[in-house]
Amino acid sequence: MNGGGDHGINGNSRSQWPDDVGIIDMEIYFPSQFVDQSELETFTGVSAGRNTKGLGQLRMGFCDDREDVASLCLTVVDKLMTRTGTSYSNIGRLEVGTESLIDKSKSVKTVIMQLFEESGNSDVEGVTSTNACYGGTAALFNSVDWIESSSCDGRLAMVVCADIAVYEPGPARPTGGVGAVAMLIGPNASIVLERGLRASRFAHNYDFYKPDLTSPYPIVDGQLSVKCYLQSLDKCYGLYKQKAFKKNGKKVDLSSFDAILFHSPYCKLVQKSFARLSFNDFKANPDNFTDTLQSSFAQIELEDSYFNKDVEKSFMDASKMTFESKTEPSLLIAKNVGNMYTPSLYGGLVSFIVSHESVESLVGKRVALFSYGSGSASSFFSIRVKEHVSMLHQQLKADVPSRLKARTKISPDEYDKTMKLVEDTHKLAPYQPIGSLKNLFPATWYLDTVDEKYRRKYLKTPL
C-alpha cells in the first residue's frame, strides 16, 4: 500500500468532513526474548498458577540494555513505512504516546525524525503525549482530529505507541512487558473511528505513578489501581451510552458490538472488566437478566460494588460465553508479550484482526475500545472495520503469529539478571550497552552508545 493515492486529502478546498477517517495501516513490534510465566512462578517462589491462572498471563516479553523507547519507535516506524511503501514526505503529523521517557525535555518524536531526513521532510507536526498507558489514545485522537481539521494539508498522520513496562522484584513484576505499535491515520481507512461516539473520564488519582526520575520502576497501589480502572470504565461506558442515544436514538449494550477491546494490564482484569460492562447493562435494564441476578443484585449500586466478589463472580459467570466470543480473541499478544502500556489496547486490535481466518469475517465488524491510563485518564470509543482492511489482515496474519513463535525463551534467572542490568545502567553516561545483538530480530534498531553528554546513538541490525 502506498500512503498517497486514495488516502490523500484536499486540505485547501475541503468543504465537508473527509470520509472514513481512521487507521489506514498498522504495525506491531515486540522483542525477540521472553520469559515463561509458569517458570517465573517457580523461580520467584509464588504459588503455582499465580501468574498464569490468577493473572491470565502465559509469557512476558522483555528487552536488555540494547533497546529503549526510542529504538522501539524507530523499529516499528521503519517496519511500517517499508512494508507499506509509504513515502516519508507524505506524513504531515507524527505523535508519540509513551510513558517510558528517556529525557524530560526532548520529545521521543524528535528521535524518529532521523528516518525523515533522506526525504527532506521536516514539516511534521506533533510531539509526545504522556499520561501512563493513555498516551497512545491521546495521540490517536489528536491525529484523527488533525486529519479532520483545517490544519491538515492533505498528508497523512502517524501515531506511534511504545513502552517498556518493568517492575521491581515482587508481586507486580509478572505484569510487565514491552512493545510498540505504529498506525497510519487518514481518510478512506481500513478501521474507521465512529465520529461523535467517544466518551472520556479524567480524574486525579495516585494509583500508579513515577515520581522518582532516577528509577525505572513505578509506585503502584494495586487495589486503588483496579478501582480507578473499573470506576473509569463505568463512567465512560455510561456516558458513551448517553451520547450514542442522543446521536442516533439507539440504546447501547454489549450486544451493540461485535467485539470489545480493553487496555490490558493483565488478562484476568480484562475478563473482570467485561463482566463489569455486563453489570452496567444489568443496572440499566435488569429485565434482560435472570431472576436470580435480579433478586441478588438489583439493590447494589455501581459505586458500592468495586470489590464485591459476589457481583464479580456472578457476572463473570453470566458473561463468560460472550467474553470468549467478543474479547478473548483480542488477548493473543497480551497473554504472550504482557502489558505494553500505551500499545496495549492497540496490540489488542492487532490480535483481534489476526484472530479472523478470513477477511470476509472481519469486514463490517463494529468494535468498542476502552483505554485507561493511571493518574487517571480514560476513554471509551468505537470503530468499524471497512473493506480496505484486506491487505492489513493478510500482512498481520502472515507475520504476527510466526514472529511470536520465533522468539527465544530465556530462563527466569537470566531474565532477573537482565532486569538488574537495566536497573543499574539506565541513567549512566557515558555508557556502552553490553547486550548481544544476536538477541535482536533482523532489521531492529538498537542503542549503540550513550556519550558523556547523554546523547544516544542508534543503529539497525541487518535484514
pLDDT tens track for 218-260? 999 999 999 999 999 999 999 999 999 999 999 999 999 999 9
Active site residue 426: no
Confidence category of residue 343, pLDDT binned at 50, 70, 90: very high
Chain segment 308-342, per-residue pLDDT in tens:
999 999 999 999 999 999 999 999 999 999 999 99
Please say whether the beta carbons of 417 and 396 come within 8 A: no
291, three cell numbers: 431472576
> What CATH number is given to the structural domain containing 191?
3.40.47.10
Structure confidence at residue 17 (pLDDT) = 84
Q: Provide the Cα torsion 252, 255, 258, 262; round to 10°.
A: 70
CA distance 100 to 102: 7
Confidence category of residue 6, pLDDT binned at 50, 70, 90: low
Q: Among 169-173, 269-273, 340-344, 373-377, which stretch is predicted with the lowest mean pLDDT?
A: 169-173
Please say whether the beta carbons of 368 and 191 come within 8 A: no
Percentage of residues of the chain with pLDDT beyond 70: 97
Please say whether the beta carbons of 183 and 23 come within 8 A: yes
Please say whether the beta carbons of 202 and 79 come within 8 A: no
Active site residue 152: no
Structure confidence at residue 10 (pLDDT) = 47
CA distance 126 to 105: 14
Structure confidence at residue 8 (pLDDT) = 53
- On average, the pLDDT of the chain sits at 95
* Average pLDDT, integer, range 11-22: 72
Amino acid (one-letter) located at 150: S
91, three cell numbers: 506524513
Chain segment 29-54, per-residue pLDDT in tens:
999 999 999 999 999 999 999 999 99
Q: Please report the sign of the dihedral spanned by the C-alpha atoms of residue 139, residue 145, residue 146, residue 148.
A: positive
Domain that holds residue 251: 5-460
* Average pLDDT, integer, range 154-175: 96
Q: What are phi and psi of 448, to 5 degrees?
A: -85, -50
Rg from Cα positions in the chain: 22
Residue 5 has pLDDT above 80, yes or no: no
Please say whether the beta carbons of 219 and 211 come within 8 A: yes
CA distance 263 to 247: 26
Structure confidence at residue 7 (pLDDT) = 61
CA distance 301 to 354: 38
Residue 363 has pLDDT above 90, yes or no: yes
Residue 261 has pLDDT above 70, yes or no: yes
The total number of residues shown for the chain amounts to 463
Percentage of residues of the chain with pLDDT beyond 90: 95
| Distance of alpha carbon 419 from the chain centroid | 22
Name the catalytic one among 67, 99, 125, 328.
99
Residue 14 has pLDDT above 90, yes or no: no
How many independent structural domains does the chain possess? 1
Please say whether the beta carbons of 317 and 155 come within 8 A: no
Please say whether the beta carbons of 361 and 354 come within 8 A: no
Active site residue 357: no
Burial of 214 (0-12, 13-18, 19+ CB in 10 A): exposed
* Average pLDDT, integer, range 275-297: 97
Burial of 117 (0-12, 13-18, 19+ CB in 10 A): exposed
Name the catalytic one among 133, 228, 236, 267.
133
Higher pLDDT, 140 or 8: 140
Structure confidence at residue 16 (pLDDT) = 80
